[in-house]
Structure 1
Amino acid sequence: MKIPLLFLLLVVCLHVDAWKFCHKGRLHGGNLGEPGSRGTLSRSPFVKTLWFKQWLDHFNPRNEETWQQRYFINNEYYQDGGPIFLMIGGEAEASDKWMTQGAWVDYAKKFKALLFQVEHRFYGQSHPTEDISVKNLVYLSSEQALADLATFITKMTDELKLTGKWIAFGGSYPGSLAAWLRMKYPHLIHGAVSSSGPLLAEVDFFDYFRVVDEALESYSEQCLANVKTAHEQVNLLTRHPLGMRKLDESFKLCDPLQTLIKEQKHLSNFWDTLANNFAGVVQYNKDNRIGKTKAGNITIDDLCGIMLNETIGIPVQRLAAINTLLLNATNQTCLDYNYDNMINELRNTSWEGEGARQWTYQTCTEFGFYQTSSYSPHVFGDQFPVDFYIQQCEDIFGSRFNTSFLDRAVDRTNTIYGGLDIDVTNVVFVHGSVDPWHALGITKTKDQGAPAIYIEGTAHCANMYPRDDSDPPQLNQARVEIENHIDSWLRL
């Protein structure tokens, strides 16, 4: 078989030492975390970890089963009659670091507020059932979580004889919950700060990668062009055994491509994994966390710096360098794209995991949110369509979690909450232009009773993290606006 010259050039160029040859050749030229802290943070004596008896099923009075839900309280800044601030936990373990850090703590100091944080059912240490089998995950939903919060507010108000107004805070999925809590229980929640909350449930969330593309392009049009070229070169190399062997080496693959990519599920997972190298960095770009992990410190500047660095090699080599950077930052020795490995991990019904199975279940039964390759011009290829994600629902939870089931589930979610047509007051919607999730949120004020703050140049939940001297002016201004809205609600 005659091998095209372009392919041969690509194979040769996978060796960094061959860069000079290639340069002269034909080829020219992707969850709310902890706030972190500077230095050692001593534990505040005012912060307590407590447990609350919660109903298993709020919507079936005949079911009298209960469980223990974890929550945190900080009364350091509270004065009698002051407001009560409630931070809503989400799809990960709740962290007591939020009880002494973050913008909401600054607001609490000013308004003399009592602070609560409630961990979301089925995440962290809040275990309503003995395991997370499908029969038990039926009790995991946003509706049950909102009812948990309503029950908590009612009990705390009564037991602690609280007279102040409750204000909810949430970022990412809890940002949605904060808005929905105000909408569904306005007699309990007086106002809400909804940060980076996706309000519209959508099965095929192809706009996610539109925003990723725009973020890379805002750094440099050439950066985006090189990313696209790199993925095109990967695609070419996957079509021949010699090219696949070079990809095995340069991308440090755990399994040789030749052994797996005959099955589309593995190939799709390979492409999805490469795209997520960029997606994760863009979503949390310079999000103002202090004391980040190595991976959290990687920014769009770093990615584009590599993609524009011709001394590394042709675009596919630069893509491989990014992959290595992220593997090292996350302490991984190889890139695992094996679909079966992923599915087997998500089938684990014990409480050993960190919430991936639970969140996957919520996407399969309520939200979709699948970040597909459907967006044209397919910078990251077109190998992970929406069917790839729906198949995961079936493979993990059972055949009934299919396309028609998911379509009905997403329609139901939007009917219950209203999607982008939510009818609510005393909520401020906050989004960053770099955060892909803003594509499913409210970024322009439709009603003065529920204003939107759109922060140019910031990413996911940036307004929630502790202030820093390096914060851009627009982020500082957003925090002031949020404070002003809280002040106005408390005066009503």
Structure 2
Amino acid sequence: MPSEMWVTQRQDHFNDANTKTWQQKYYVNDQYYRKGGPVFLMLGGEGPLGPTWMVDGAWIDYAQAYNAMLFSIEHRYYGKSHPTPDMSTENLQYLSSEQALADSAYFIQYCKYKFELQDNKWISFGGSYSGSLSAWLRLKYPHLIDGAVATSAPLLAVIDFKEYLDVTQASLATTGSGCNEGIEEATTAVEKLLQTEDGRGQLKKMFKLCDDIDIENKLDIANLFSNLANNFEEVVQYNKDNRGFEGGVGANITLDVLCDIMTDTSRGLALQRYADVNSLMLSTYSEKCLDFLYYNMIEEMRISDWNKTDSPGGRQWVYQTCTEFGFFQTSDLVEQPFGQRFPLSFWVQQCKDIYGYRFNADLINAGINRTNTNYGAKNIKASRIVFPNGSIDQWHALGKLDNLPAGSTAIFINGTAHCANMYPAAPTDIPELTQTRMTIQKLIGAWIQ
């Protein structure tokens, strides 16, 4: 595996009076490179950057085909790349997509001289948030990036991402009838049991809750319903994405597995089946019980010491959603089976409780409007970008599917989930996914001519 390397970055690229610097982690793999070949840059996203992607994934096939040099850089504030002594709200002011793009631009210039790559073509890669960064890097720094692969990239920032549950239920429906209906029936049953003390006790036992339910605490109730929905949301988002090569858990749980449980009447009523799904997810992630208390979640997210949090990237990413993107996966869509208990106000309250009094819906919307104005949202105007999206993936609702600027390409892959085309090929891949990887490779070949 490639070793960690470090580059000195400015804390604030947009204020020359700030002379503070920090060390950004990156990796390099030159085993496929031949002089004059292209340079591929994988942008880090909202989590720690590891070396696994430097030796595996679809882009490795592209590197072998075109004799490319490979770099990846860790996003500021994630993993080991710390621009500030801690993650206090004041210190998070240097965390933004604009600063991250400026980091990338400087890194390219740095590598051009350090590795003698002044005349090579550069192609950026990313998936999900870093897919957006890949597209925006091509938009903002076209003199440095010759083409961009922007996989599953949400380009439209929205405060109320109610389409997330719309795509979730549509994806669950692809398994056949009964899954969404079972979830809706179970949700109704949970609502009914909440109304009595005995019912709340029954819910605690069935769903392996860590604490008793306080019916007066609306935020706890919202968090409970959000957690139960999340059991399905996460599985749908990453359904059959071949991510097992990274060593993570849960890759074997698919939406088919969950819907098989929800439609198996031999297990009992829909409520019991909903609880069985919850038990499966707790077991998979080695959790003894479901901690649904809002205060516990907020206390975890308030931890600003780099070394004391159990949620790597959580505090940082939520800050970016509160200041730049929104993306709040609310229950505000009426026609969906998970109930209406985690509305927009629940998510706005989190911004306020985690980071301080100044956060409200107006402030969050101001940041979102600035983001969309800055990058163009779905009206992005830049050539030589490919936008692959999967039909199962909820994030395609905010992505680029049509009305493309000249020279850019959108690929909508029926039957795949989040970032599926980035992962290593597998014998079980559907033909549309295999074709997408081939199309991306051909596009890169045209861009580097």
TM-score (norm 2): 0.98
Matched, 1:376 2:334: yes
Matched, 1:348 2:348: no
Equivalent-residue separation in structure 2 for 1:181 and 1:202 (angstroms): 21
* Secondary structure of the structure 2 residue equivalent to 1:415: helix
* Secondary structure of the structure 1 residue equivalent to 2:272: helix
Deviation at residue 296 of structure 1 after TM alignment: 2.4
Deviation at residue 446 of structure 1 after TM alignment: 2.4
Which residue in the other structure is 1:154 paired with? 109
Question: Which residue of 227, 236, 260 maps to 1:273?
Answer: 227
Matched, 1:80 2:35: yes
Equivalent-residue separation in structure 1 for 2:89 and 2:239 (angstroms): 35
Matching of residues 352-363 of structure 1 within 5 Å: 352=307, 353=309, 354-363=312-321
Amino acid at match of 2:219: K
Matching of residues 285-434 of structure 1 within 5 Å: 285-291=239-245, 293-352=248-307, 353=309, 354-434=312-392
Name which of structure 1's ranges 155-164 and 417-426 shifts more when overlaid on structure 2: 155-164
Equivalent-residue separation in structure 2 for 1:382 and 1:420 (angstroms): 28
Which residue in the other structure is 2:170 paired with? 214
> For each residue in 1:228-271, what CA deviation from the matched residue of structure 2 results, as whole angstroms up to 9, or x when unmatched?
111111111111111111111000000111xx231111110011
* Higher gyration radius (CA): 1
> For each residue in 1:147-198, what CA deviation from the matched residue of structure 2 results, as whole angstroms up to 9, or x when unmatched?
0000000111122221210000000100000000000000000000000010
Contact 2:262 2:274 (C-alpha < 8 Å) held by counterparts: yes
Which residue in the other structure is 1:447 paired with? 405
Amino acid at match of 1:321: D
Amino acid at match of 2:303: N
- Give unmatched runs, 5+ long, in structure 2: none
Matched, 1:239 2:225: no
Which residue in the other structure is 1:264 paired with? 218
Equivalent-residue separation in structure 2 for 1:73 and 1:276 (angstroms): 36
Matching of residues 56-205 of structure 1 within 5 Å: 56-162=11-117, 163-205=119-161
Contact 2:244 2:251 (C-alpha < 8 Å) held by counterparts: no
Contact 2:13 2:99 (C-alpha < 8 Å) held by counterparts: yes
Amino acid at match of 2:46: E
Amino acid at match of 1:256: D
Equivalent-residue separation in structure 1 for 2:114 and 2:208 (angstroms): 57
Deviation at residue 218 of structure 1 after TM alignment: 1.3
Contact 1:71 1:116 (C-alpha < 8 Å) held by counterparts: yes
Equivalent-residue separation in structure 2 for 1:472 and 1:111 (angstroms): 25
Equivalent-residue separation in structure 2 for 1:400 and 1:248 (angstroms): 35
Deviation at residue 438 of structure 1 after TM alignment: 0.5
Deviating beyond 6 angstroms after TM superposition, the runs of 4 or more aligned structure 1 residues are none
* Secondary structure of the structure 2 residue equivalent to 1:311: helix
> For each residue in 1:396-455, what CA deviation from the matched residue of structure 2 results, as whole angstroms up to 9, or x when unmatched?
101111111001010000000000000110000010000000000012352341110010
Matched, 1:284 2:242: no
* Secondary structure of the structure 2 residue equivalent to 1:406: helix
Amino acid at match of 2:237: Q
Name which of structure 1's ranges 216-225 and 368-377 shifts more when overlaid on structure 2: 216-225
Name which of structure 1's ranges 246-255 and 448-457 shifts more when overlaid on structure 2: 448-457
Deviation at residue 377 of structure 1 after TM alignment: 1.6
> For each residue in 1:68-92, what CA deviation from the matched residue of structure 2 results, as whole angstroms up to 9, or x when unmatched?
0000000000011110000000000
Equivalent-residue separation in structure 1 for 2:362 and 2:434 (angstroms): 45
> For each residue in 1:301-357, what CA deviation from the matched residue of structure 2 results, as whole angstroms up to 9, or x when unmatched?
100100111111000000000000000000000000000000000000101330100
- Give unmatched runs, 5+ long, in structure 1: 1-42
> For each residue in 1:52-101, what CA deviation from the matched residue of structure 2 results, as whole angstroms up to 9, or x when unmatched?
00000000011111100000000000011110000000000001000000
Amino acid at match of 2:316: Q
* Secondary structure of the structure 2 residue equivalent to 1:431: strand
> For each residue in 1:116-171, what CA deviation from the matched residue of structure 2 results, as whole angstroms up to 9, or x when unmatched?
00000000000111000011100000000000000000111122221210000000
RMSD over aligned CA atoms reads 1.0
Distance 1:293 1:154, change over 3 A: closer
Deviation at residue 294 of structure 1 after TM alignment: 4.0
Equivalent-residue separation in structure 2 for 1:384 and 1:247 (angstroms): 18
> For each residue in 1:261-291, what CA deviation from the matched residue of structure 2 results, as whole angstroms up to 9, or x when unmatched?
3111111001101000000000000012234
Contact 1:445 1:452 (C-alpha < 8 Å) held by counterparts: no
Over the matched positions of the two proteins, sequence identity in percent amounts to 49
Contact 2:166 2:336 (C-alpha < 8 Å) held by counterparts: no
Which residue in the other structure is 1:437 paired with? 395
Question: Aligned residues, how many?
Answer: 444
Contact 1:266 1:337 (C-alpha < 8 Å) held by counterparts: yes
* Secondary structure of the structure 2 residue equivalent to 1:295: coil
Amino acid at match of 2:221: L
TM-score (norm 1): 0.89
Equivalent-residue separation in structure 2 for 1:148 and 1:435 (angstroms): 29
